[in-house]
Structures are given as structure tokens and as C-alpha cells.
């Protein structure tokens, strides 16, 4: 193990007795194991042991070739595991300043997993006959209750609660707390809700199927996320129920479309009837005036060039022109244009 190039003790935190042992105990928690994955837990274990070997005098100074044989992994696997440990807050890592020079690292315990012992454990408690001391040692530093990876109040979990409320789930707090203890992220839960929304027709009890999936889903150890096929977390779909629900949806959609067509047809008939009545009223009131007007006067009333052109070609009595001319006369007289 390389120990040159850096001076021990700079920015290195003070360690309690048996720190490495208790870090390894934390790695046995299911929540931590899912968070770091097998290779991440292996890396943290190796670094904790190396810190203990040097009696916590300073950070571990090592090149990758020092760590890979201890983990029995390839270089790419080591880099991936190290990045994951740093991202999850379990490792402080300062990259090597140059080729062949060691990197600087030590274990960091994330907030919520602090090593808090109910009774301080002294090294003298390690005796061959000290069964009771060993039992105390094995239970002292396991958090109780196990901390949630993400507080419920954060924005992502607020969005999860809204999605579960929209899904009609009743025991929302219980479901979200269970998801957090399993190590699920808000994005994982929203993916499950989205899959359930797309396939809910295939469940006899959709809300129960969603709750069952939230209780069952757990991140994969290696990837830290859910498997691509989210259907494995849900009860089996009922093909007959799915087809019945699809048929029901088609029937409702056809019924709604037919109603909309009926309403639209009725609206058009009503509008046409009102338009015809309006033109009849205009004809009775302004028809004689329009008949007595000169062509130049009519042209000056035309609302646009299209009407002017139609008037010149077809005359004032054409059914394609006369409604526009009557409306123009009525507008000039200040008459109401609609009923």
C-alpha cells in the first residue's frame, strides 16, 4: 500500500473506537445494501479495514491497483462502485494528482446513519468469554428506527402523495413510508403509478393492486433501481377483465361521440334557423331601401372585395349576395346583427 505524497491527518475526521467494525455492521442493513450495491459495500468494507489497519491516523492513500485485488473486481467495476459510494455519501474521495500517485479517501457515514451507541463500547470488552459484551457490540449501532433515505416533506415525495391521492389510494402515508424503508426514490414510485395507470383496467381491484406493488417493489442491489418490466411487482393481469374494461371504454367513447354529434347538429340547425329568421326580418325592414339604392351606394356598403365582385357579377337579388347586402344596410342603420 502506497503511503507517500500526502501527509496523514489533514482534514481527516476523528474516529471513535472500533469505527471500522461498526461501519461493516451498517453495511449489513438491507437499506444500505440496496443503496450501495454489492460492489459498493465491498469497497466501503475494504477502505474501513484499511483505516483500521493504520489505527485511524489519517486517510487511506492508495492507487486502484491496491484496491482491485482486495475487492476481486475489474477496473471498470471499481470505478462504478466508487462513483456510486461518493454519490450516496458513503465515501470521501480525492483523485490522484498524477499518474502513479495515490488517491486520498476515507469512509463517510451519511446523515441519519451516524454511529450512536446507547453505551460506549471499550476495547477491553473483547474477551473470549465475553459473550454478553459481543451481543451488546452487535446491536449497539443499528439505527432504530431505520432512517428513511429521503424525508417525506421533500418536493419529490409531495408529488408522490398527489399521484397516490389521484389514484384513489387510501393509506397513502403508510404506503410512502414503506416505499422509503425499501429504499425507493420518488421517481421509482411515480414509474409504478404510471404503469398501474396504463394497465389498471386489467385488475379487478385496481387500488389494491397498486398498494400490493408498492409493498413489494424494492431496488435491485446492482443497479439501485427497479427492473425495466414493472409488471413483475403487480398481481397478474386478468385478460377477461382487461377486455371487458376495454369494451366498456369503447362503448362509452362511442356514446360520448354520438352525443357530441347530436349536440353539434342541433346547434347548427338552431343557428341556421335563427339566421334565416334574421334575414327575413332584415328583408321586411330594409328590402325596399336596398332595392331603391344605386349600384355605387351598394358598392360603398359592401363589407369586402369578394362581396363587391359577387354583386357586380350576380346583382343585388342573388341569394349569394343579398344576405350580405341586407346585413350591411342593417349595420348602417344600427340594427342588431344576431338573435
CATH of the domain at 58: 1.10.10
Residue 204 lies in a domain: yes
For 62, counting Cβ atoms within 10 Å of its Cβ (0-12 exposed, 13-18 middle, 19+ buried), the class is buried
Residues 163 and 262 in one domain: no
Give residue 29's pLDDT. Answer: 87
Residue 256 lies in a domain: yes
- Domain of 198, in residue numbers: 155-237
> Mean pLDDT over residues 288-308, rounded?
87
CB 321 within 8 A of CB 310: yes
Least confident range from 97-106, 107-116, 120-129, 161-170: namely 120-129
Residues 23 and 110 in one domain: yes
The stretches of 182-238 forming alpha helices (DSSP H) are 186-199, 206-216
* Chain-centre distance for alpha carbon 232: 19
Output 193 or 303, whichever has higher pLDDT: 193
Identify the domain boundary among 105, 139, 173: 139
* Chain-centre distance for alpha carbon 29: 26
Residue 150 lies in a domain: no
How are beta strands 60-62 and 103-107 bridged, if at all? antiparallel
Residues 23 and 82 in one domain: yes
Residues 229 and 260 in one domain: no
> Mean pLDDT over residues 138-148, rounded?
41
pLDDT tens by residue, 45-90? 999 999 999 888 889 999 998 899 999 999 999 999 999 999 888 9
Residue 229 lies in a domain: yes
First CA to last CA distance, the chain: 94
Least confident range from 26-40, 56-70, 230-244, 259-273: namely 230-244
How many domains are there within the chain? 3
Residue 181 lies in a domain: yes
Give residue 147's pLDDT. Answer: 44
Residue 11 lies in a domain: no
Distance CA 260, CA 133 (A): 79
- pTM recorded for the entire structure: 0.39
Residues 166 and 224 in one domain: yes
Residues 232 and 165 in one domain: yes
Residues 231 and 260 in one domain: no
Distance CA 242, CA 199 (A): 8
Amino acid at each position: 500500500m502506497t503511503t507517500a505524497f500526502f501527509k496523514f491527518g489533514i482534514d481527516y475526521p476523528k474516529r471513535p473506537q472500533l469505527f471500522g467494525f461498526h461501519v461493516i455492521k451498517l453495511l449489513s442493513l438491507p437499506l444500505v445494501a440496496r443503496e450501495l450495491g454489492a460492489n459498493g459495500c465491498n469497497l466501503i468494507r475494504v477502505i474501513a479495514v484499511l483505516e483500521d489497519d493504520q489505527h485511524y491516523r489519517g486517510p487511506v492513500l492508495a492507487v486502484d491497483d491496491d484496491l482491485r485485488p482486495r475487492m476481486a473486481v475489474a477496473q471498470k467495476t471499481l470505478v462504478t462502485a466508487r462513483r456510486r459510494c461518493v454519490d450516496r455519501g458513503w465515501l470521501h474521495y480525492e483523485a490522484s494528482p498524477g499518474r502513479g500517485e495515490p488517491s486520498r479517501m476515507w469512509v463517510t457515514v451519511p446523515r441519519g446513519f451516524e454511529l450512536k451507541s446507547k453505551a460506549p463500547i471499550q476495547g477491553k470488552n473483547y474477551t473470549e468469554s465475553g459473550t454478553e459484551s459481543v451481543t451488546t457490540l452487535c446491536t449497539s449501532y443499528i439505527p432504530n428506527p431505520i432512517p428513511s433515505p429521503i424525508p417525506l416533506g421533500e418536493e419529490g415525495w409531495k408529488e408522490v402523495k398527489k399521484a397516490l391521492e389521484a389514484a384513489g389510494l387510501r393509506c397513502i402515508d403508510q404506503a410512502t413510508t414503506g416505499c422509503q424503508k425499501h429504499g425507493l426514490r420518488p421517481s421509482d414510485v411515480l414509474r409504478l403509478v404510471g404503469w398501474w395507470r396504463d394497465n389498471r383496467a386489467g385488475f379487478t381491484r385496481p387500488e389494491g393492486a397498486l398498494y400490493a406493488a408498492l409493498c413489494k417493489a424494492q431496488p435491485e442491489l446492482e443497479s439501485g433501481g427497479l427492473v425495466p418490466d414493472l409488471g413483475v411487482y403487480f398481481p397478474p393481469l386478468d385478460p377477461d377483465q382487461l377486455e371487458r374494461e376495454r369494451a366498456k371504454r369503447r362503448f362509452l367513447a362511442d356514446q360520448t361521440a354520438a352525443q357530441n354529434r347530436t349536440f353539434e347538429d342541433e346547434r347548427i340547425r338552431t343557428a341556421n334557423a335563427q339566421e334565416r329568421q334574421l334575414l327575413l326580418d332584415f328583408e321586411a325592414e330594409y328590402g325596399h331601401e336596398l332595392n331603391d339604392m344605386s349600384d355605387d351606394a351598394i358598392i360603398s356598403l359592401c363589407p369586402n372585395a369578394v362581396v363587391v365582385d359577387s354583386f357586380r357579377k350576380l346583382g343585388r337579388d342573388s341569394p349569394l349576395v343579398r344576405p350580405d347586402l341586407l346585413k350591411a344596410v342593417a349595420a348602417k342603420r344600427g340594427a342588431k346583427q344576431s338573435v
